[in-house]
């Protein structure tokens, strides 16, 4: 018979099989993105931000030209802005 420490239980087998399958899936997704030239990083810090104008045009604005969010607006200011 086999020694008690060398046999794989069914639970360990399924755990290793699922981890292997997940790692192969993740590798294939990452390799496809690299081939297409897409960025893989989740937190990219670009220097421009894209906005959609009222007439439907897509424009890029530098982050430096946007006002910084130093304070939050109050509820009254928001309600006044919406009623304009």
d(CA 58, CA 61): 10
CB 45 within 8 A of CB 53: no
Give me the sign of the Cα torsion angle 28, 30, 35, 38.
positive
Whole-model pTM: value is: 0.33
What's the pLDDT at 42? 46
Average pLDDT over residues 54-69: 85
Q: Is the pLDDT of residue 19 over 90?
A: yes
Backbone angles phi, psi at 52, to 5 degrees: -105, 125
d(CA 15, CA 21): 10
Average pLDDT over residues 43-62: 83
């Amino acid at each position: 018979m086999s020694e008690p420490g060398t046999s794989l239980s069914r639970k360990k087998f399924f755990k290793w099989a699922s981890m292997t399958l997940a790692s192969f899936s993740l590798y294939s997704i990452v390799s496809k993105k690299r081939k297409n030239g897409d960025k893989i990083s989740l937190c990219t810090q670009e220097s421009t931000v894209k906005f959609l104008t009222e007439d439907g045009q897509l424009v890029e604005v530098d982050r430096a030209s946007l006002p910084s969010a130093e304070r939050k607006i109050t509820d009254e200011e928001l309600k006044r802005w919406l009623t304009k």
